Amino acid sequence: MKERIPTYEVITFGCQMNDHDSEVMAGMLESLGYEPAASTDEADVILVNTCCVRETAENKIYGLLGRLAHLKGRRKGNLIIGIAGCMTQQPEVARKIKNRFPQVDLILGTHNLHRLPELLLQARECRERVMEVWDQAGEIVENLPIRRASKVKAWVNITYGCNNFCTYCIVPYVRGRERSRRPEDILNEIRRLVQEGYREVTLLGQNVNSYGKDLPGPISFARLLTEVDQIPGLWRIRFTTSHPRDFTPELIDTIARCPHVCEHIHLPVQAGSNRILKLMNRGYDRNYYLNLVERIRRAIPGVAITTDIMVGFPGETEEDFTQTMDLVERVRFDGAFTFVYNPRPGTPAARFPEQVPDEIKSERIQKLIERQNEITLAHNQALVGRVEQVLVEGESKTNPEMMSGRTRTNRLVIFPGSRDLAGQLVNVTVTGARLTHLEGKLAATV
């Protein structure tokens, strides 16, 4: 009788780092002979890649673990549940998961992701619970297998971890100190991707612009971008996230000069009040930020600037919030992710006095979202009638009748077209604008 091929599912929470780590987990599972499961219910291994940046993420994950525990009960134990990612890097959380969810077979962290195959085999063969979380990162492990979600665009890590210690943020505690990958490893990975047919890369790091500070030799993010830009066959280069403090004039020039680097900068501002920015330990003030935006816009015509903004940081007064709204008005961001401050155990701000009451937080976030949505929509509407270059990614996720892709400024565009267009650059005339995307029709192929 033919042996059944074992199947897996990776469920991901959190940011792009986690999306990409999940691609690595999937790659490692496939190298062990696993195949993607048709549904969660059928999978032999389910891995949950977790995020702990806000409590909402953690609560969702506890809910999911409860459901998976139930599923395992129904399957009479014939299922391996693993939990990885940022949440398990907090020792008290890892302990809690271990105690509350005996159905979880495998617990690993962010620093020992590469150990997944060995640990999984151990859990599978020995039928015992395996828990291994390193409290520090080791050497960067290269050449892990990756199963990428897209055939057109790829994530490429350039740095791991973060040294900034913004006072609200848990990331440096769960991802460790900043480490840069060697430029030759990054360039080789991208060259291979191009050979495999990928056309776009997004360089990933918590703070990409501080790339290379820990490496010997004269290397900086600007220099790395220049080299990536010269790789033949690569059409588009993106990067995220940029920290305003480390955005050098050299970097602005480089982005302006490199033809393949897209005109989109995600530049989290977090707050518009100098007092709050200082308490957050962001290392810049509002004037610096406003001036940086102006310099970027002057040097890079048509650039889209998006941001992250938080309301309700401890001590945020009505006046501080007004300063944030005023900054939003002045910059007119092309888009923004908005967050309500959430105290994270172990971070300095969680211990700050004057935590803002929930009602005030929700009033402020509503005001902010409402205004930013108007601005985002106005930016999109201004594009109606224009022709945009779109890299086609495939069928639209929300409407499989349509194709979807992104403009250089990272706007999602949905348009009628043939499936063979996937992976191609096309010109699309924008016919309609929504908050989340543009609608269009094909003009001529580029």
Please report, in range form, the residues annotated as the binding site for [4Fe-4S] cluster.
Answer: 15, 51, 86, 162, 166, 169
Q: Which of 12, 50, 157, 164 binds ligand SF4 (CB under 6 A)?
A: 164
Residue 191 has phi, psi (to 5 degrees) of -60, -40
CB 134 within 8 A of CB 124: no
The length of the chain is 446
Cβ count near 144 (within 10 Å): 16
Contact mark string toward ligand SAH, 181..220, x via CB under 6 A: -------------------------xx-------------
Q: Which of 14, 176, 183, 212 binds ligand F3S (CB under 6 A)?
A: 14
| Stretch near ligand F3S under the rule CB under 6 A, chosen from 12-20, 209-217, 284-292, 419-427 | 12-20
Q: Which of 88, 180, 270, 389 binds ligand SAH (CB under 6 A)?
A: 270
| Stretch near ligand SAH under the rule CB under 6 A, chosen from 181-189, 226-234, 335-343, 431-439 | 335-343
| Stretch near ligand F3S under the rule CB under 6 A, chosen from 48-56, 67-75, 151-159, 207-215 | 48-56
CB 50 within 8 A of CB 84: yes
Shortest separation between residue 210's beta carbon and ligand F3S, angstroms: 16
Spatial CB neighbours of 308, under 8 Å, sequence gap ≥ 6 = 266, 268, 269, 270, 336, 337, 338, 339
Q: Is 53 in the site for ligand F3S (CB under 6 A)?
A: yes
| Stretch near ligand F3S under the rule CB under 6 A, chosen from 49-57, 277-285, 318-326, 377-385 | 49-57
Write the CA distances from 351 to 164, 281, 318, 343, 348, integer angstroms: 18, 15, 21, 8, 6
Q: Is 333 in the site for ligand SAH (CB under 6 A)?
A: no
Spatial CB neighbours of 22, under 8 Å, sequence gap ≥ 6 = 10, 12, 47, 49
Shortest separation between residue 85's beta carbon and ligand F3S, angstroms: 6
The CB-based long-range contact list for 356-361 (8 Å cut-off, 24+ gap) reads 356/312, 356/313, 356/314, 356/315, 356/316, 360/312, 361/311, 361/312
Q: Is 54 in the site for ligand SF4 (CB under 6 A)?
A: no
Cβ nearer to ligand SAH, comparing 19 with 227: 19
Q: How many residues bind ligand SF4 (CB under 6 A)?
A: 10
Q: Which of 25, 28, 47, 51 binds ligand F3S (CB under 6 A)?
A: 51
| Sites for ligand F3S among residues 165-194 (CB under 6 A) | 171, 174-175
Helix (H) or strand (E) holding 27: helix 16-31
CB 302 within 8 A of CB 311: no
Could you tell me which of 243, 374, 371 has the C-alpha nearest to residue 307?
A: 243
Could you tell me which of 306, 307, 308, 319 has the C-alpha nearest to residue 364?
A: 319
**Interface residue list for ligand F3S (CB under 6 A):** 14-15, 17-18, 51-53, 86, 171, 174-175
**Interface residue list for ligand SAH (CB under 6 A):** 53-54, 168-169, 171, 206-207, 241, 243, 268, 270, 308, 310, 339, 341-342, 344
